[in-house]
Structure 1
Amino acid sequence: MVLRRLVLAALLAVFLGQSPENADAQLKQAVFIPQWVPQAQFAGYYFALEKGIYRKHGIDLEILSGGPHNSSLDRLKDGKADFATLWLSTAIQARAEGLNVVNIAQILPRSALMLVAKKSSGILTPWDLNGKKVGLWPSVFQVQPKAFFKRYDLNVVIVPQSFSVNLFLRDGVDVASAMWYNEYHTILSAGYNPEELTTFFFHEHGLNFPEEGIYVLEERLKKDPELCRAFVSASLEGWIAAFADPEEALKMVMKNLKREYIPATRVHQRWMLERMKDLILTERKTIDTKLLSKDYYRVATSLHSSGLIETVPEYASFYKDLIADGTR
């Protein structure tokens, strides 16, 4: 009788240990914020959240909505977020200014920033930009274009550009800044055919600046490296799953944008998701999260020569490879 009671007690303990309530208690809580609103640019993270992938990796995750009024860098700095996406140039600048951000996964290995011109304006080659009015976004968004102008010895008229291409569409500037996955499609949607446009992708001119990566504060990484590794693994799994099921991913994106009262079309979000797939996946259909030292120093030295940072942070302290083989 005593033996039976002991066996029953052991079985009950095992059952309770596997209960949903107990499983939830074992999850680690974390907060993530992308650098912009919940558009298809970040579909992989939202897909991983809604499909339970983060929970499968032991994380009870909350995603904050980023954007112009809720900076992902600020939320990382004030401790309201554990993980954030940042552009490499933004993160290097923050590290140089004393904030110990660490890159734990480089999601976009190449730049999607570009310049767009109308062929009807006579711009076909870089040298045709001489004397033209070029719309540029502020701060770190100007580093690549200015390096491009310097490379081709160009003298252009820089015009401040808002996060819109209306000035370009109304011929207020000859050239506009654009992201391949975003504003470029807006220009196409306004009625222009690709054959009517001249595009300058900086990565095709020796000026590749990797963009979005996953960042964490050094203190958080040291405190719980396993949580950081689990977050990266779950995020990569989310991206792979989103690319494999784009209709479901788009459904989630549109739902999140509607929740934030952000007007958007499914056509534009589809373009964005497809371009993110082009940018993120390797030829082997995997995701390489390595930040190459040559890419890092290309961006850092450009920031330094532009006067945006006084010293170049050490690559070894800035980047930590949490995925040993670099692919998932």
Structure 2
Amino acid sequence: MLKKKRKSLAILAAALAAVMVAGLFSGCSSSGSGKLTKVTLQLKWLPQSQFMGYYVAQEKGYYKDQGLDVTILPGGSDIIPEQQVNNGVANIGVTWTSSLLKYQEKGWALTEIAQVFQKSAMLLVSKKSSNINSVADLKGKKVASWFGGNEYELYALLGKNGLNKDKDVSLVQQDFTMNQLISGQVDAAQAMTYNEYGLLLENGLKASDLNVIDMNDAGVAMLEDNLFVNKTWASQNKDAIVKFLKASIKGWQTACADPDAAGTYVYQKNKSVSLEHQKFMAEQVAKLVIPSGFDKSNVGSIDMTSLQQTADLGLKYGLLTKAADVSKAIDTSYWKEATGK
């Protein structure tokens, strides 16, 4: 009788264990088909609405629907996405296309797989009181730049308009607060449409108080946020990349359709700035990812003319030391499979 009880208890324990294991794995599977594939994404900067498409894809379960478990790593001033991906710390990275071209020139085995921002977000902003109504008016002025790879559109703007960056303007190191411009320490400063321009407005300035030079309108735009991978890892993980792109594109489409909600979610993830600023950022980023007249099904597509312009300006103004073969800088096969294009 004792043996029968022990046998029954053993069977019951085995059954409970099986149920627990089944429950455990159902929590990390896609439609019960198996374990999720882990993918790590390295951002270029701190968590903010600049990257809302990835956070929305994560929040809405788009990655999980594709069988992926995506970890999003924040960036920072001391983090280089190209280095993180090249060293295998991250599988996929977000960086500026101009920056990626520089590392590709160094021989790093990195390739762009999608161009998320279709337009440049770079502005040069001044107070109307500085009387900078055109690029020519920058002559003799004090102009702030972040440098560190962010200066080449400014150099191109000056050069295209016949100004020598070393003789005709006084370039100074720019901080990230816009206080230098607000206080009058500089006459003009760089600003991203989705971030620093918003800071100016939040600090009491009105759009009517400012003069803005848009790099797109000035014909010196260079491509910014893209997605890139290490070629070796990519060759062994094609399926994961395609699935990541499918989910990310859907995340961006969702975020751009309702930037207010996307900005709110990003704020809830990391309350480093105000809710209103994250919403402002989301609204402006949406205009870069899906500009007016742009087909949302083409989110992430790479415009070769814009890519070539980025490379040409990079060469002319000191980012690159030799002409880049842009056809070798990208691999569109993953995006095409993800979108069916």
TM range (shorter): 0.7 to 0.9
What does residue 124 of structure 1 align with? 133
What does residue 87 of structure 1 align with? 96
- CA 310–166 in structure 1, closer or farther in 2 if over 3 Å, else same: same
For the pair 1:146 / 2:155, whether they are aligned, the reply is yes
Q: Measure how far apart 1:255 and its partner are.
A: 2.1
Aligned pair partner of 2:309 in 292, 298, 310: 298
- The code of the aligned residue for 1:179 comes to M
- CA 218–313 in structure 1, closer or farther in 2 if over 3 Å, else same: farther
SS at match of 1:139: coil
The answer on whether the counterparts of 2:220 and 2:313 sit within 8 Å (CA) in structure 1 is no
- CA 21–194 in structure 1, closer or farther in 2 if over 3 Å, else same: closer
Distance in 1 separating the partners of 2:210 and 2:198: 12
- CA 22–169 in structure 1, closer or farther in 2 if over 3 Å, else same: closer
Distance in 2 separating the partners of 1:122 and 1:245: 37
Cα distance per residue 1:183-219 (max 9 Å; x no partner): 0010111111111111001110111212100110111
| TM-score, length basis structure 2 | 0.85
Cα distance per residue 1:268-292 (max 9 Å; x no partner): 1111000011111142444432222
For the pair 1:166 / 2:179, whether they are aligned, the reply is yes
What does residue 52 of structure 2 align with? 43
The answer on whether the counterparts of 1:82 and 1:217 sit within 8 Å (CA) in structure 2 is yes
Aligned pair partner of 2:321 in 285, 303, 310: 310
- The code of the aligned residue for 1:20 comes to S
- CA 204–69 in structure 1, closer or farther in 2 if over 3 Å, else same: same
Greater C-alpha radius of gyration:
2
Distance in 2 separating the partners of 1:61 and 1:325: 20
Distance in 2 separating the partners of 1:326 and 1:83: 16
The answer on whether the counterparts of 1:82 and 1:220 sit within 8 Å (CA) in structure 2 is yes
Q: Measure how far apart 1:28 and its partner are.
A: 1.3
Cα distance per residue 1:209-245 (max 9 Å; x no partner): 1210011011112112121111111111111122334
The answer on whether the counterparts of 1:169 and 1:187 sit within 8 Å (CA) in structure 2 is yes
For the pair 1:57 / 2:45, whether they are aligned, the reply is no
The answer on whether the counterparts of 1:290 and 1:326 sit within 8 Å (CA) in structure 2 is no
For the pair 1:226 / 2:239, whether they are aligned, the reply is yes
The answer on whether the counterparts of 2:125 and 2:212 sit within 8 Å (CA) in structure 1 is yes
Aligned pair partner of 2:115 in 92, 100, 106: 106
Q: Measure how far apart 1:79 and its partner are.
A: 0.6
Unaligned stretches of 5+ in structure 1? 1-15
Distance in 1 separating the partners of 2:27 and 2:185: 60
Structure 1 residues 277-288: aligned runs within 5 Å: 277-282=286-291, 283=293, 284-288=295-299
For the pair 1:272 / 2:281, whether they are aligned, the reply is yes
Distance in 1 separating the partners of 2:204 and 2:27: 55
The answer on whether the counterparts of 1:133 and 1:159 sit within 8 Å (CA) in structure 2 is yes
Distance in 2 separating the partners of 1:118 and 1:326: 45
SS at match of 2:39: strand
What does residue 11 of structure 1 align with? none
What does residue 19 of structure 2 align with? none
Give the length in aligned residue pairs: 310
- CA 126–29 in structure 1, closer or farther in 2 if over 3 Å, else same: same
SS at match of 2:287: helix
Q: CA RMSD in A?
A: 2.3
What does residue 76 of structure 2 align with? 67
Aligned pair partner of 1:177 in 184, 190, 201: 190
Distance in 1 separating the partners of 2:160 and 2:339: 34
Question: Percent same amino acid at aligned positions?
Answer: 29
Q: Measure how far apart 1:307 and its partner are.
A: 3.1
- The code of the aligned residue for 1:113 comes to M
The answer on whether the counterparts of 2:114 and 2:228 sit within 8 Å (CA) in structure 1 is yes
SS at match of 2:151: helix
Unaligned stretches of 5+ in structure 2? 1-21
The answer on whether the counterparts of 2:115 and 2:302 sit within 8 Å (CA) in structure 1 is yes
Moved more, 123-132 or 309-318: 309-318
Distance in 1 separating the partners of 2:259 and 2:122: 24
Distance in 1 separating the partners of 2:310 and 2:235: 26
Distance in 1 separating the partners of 2:70 and 2:151: 34
What does residue 335 of structure 2 align with? 323
Q: Measure how far apart 1:325 and its partner are.
A: 8.4
SS at match of 2:114: strand
Distance in 2 separating the partners of 1:83 and 1:146: 30
Distance in 1 separating the partners of 2:78 and 2:330: 28
The answer on whether the counterparts of 2:44 and 2:75 sit within 8 Å (CA) in structure 1 is yes
- The code of the aligned residue for 1:199 comes to V
Q: Measure how far apart 1:248 and its partner are.
A: 3.8
SS at match of 2:217: helix
Distance in 1 separating the partners of 2:49 and 2:27: 33
| TM-score, length basis structure 1 | 0.88
Distance in 2 separating the partners of 1:77 and 1:29: 17
What does residue 4 of structure 1 align with? none
For the pair 1:20 / 2:34, whether they are aligned, the reply is no
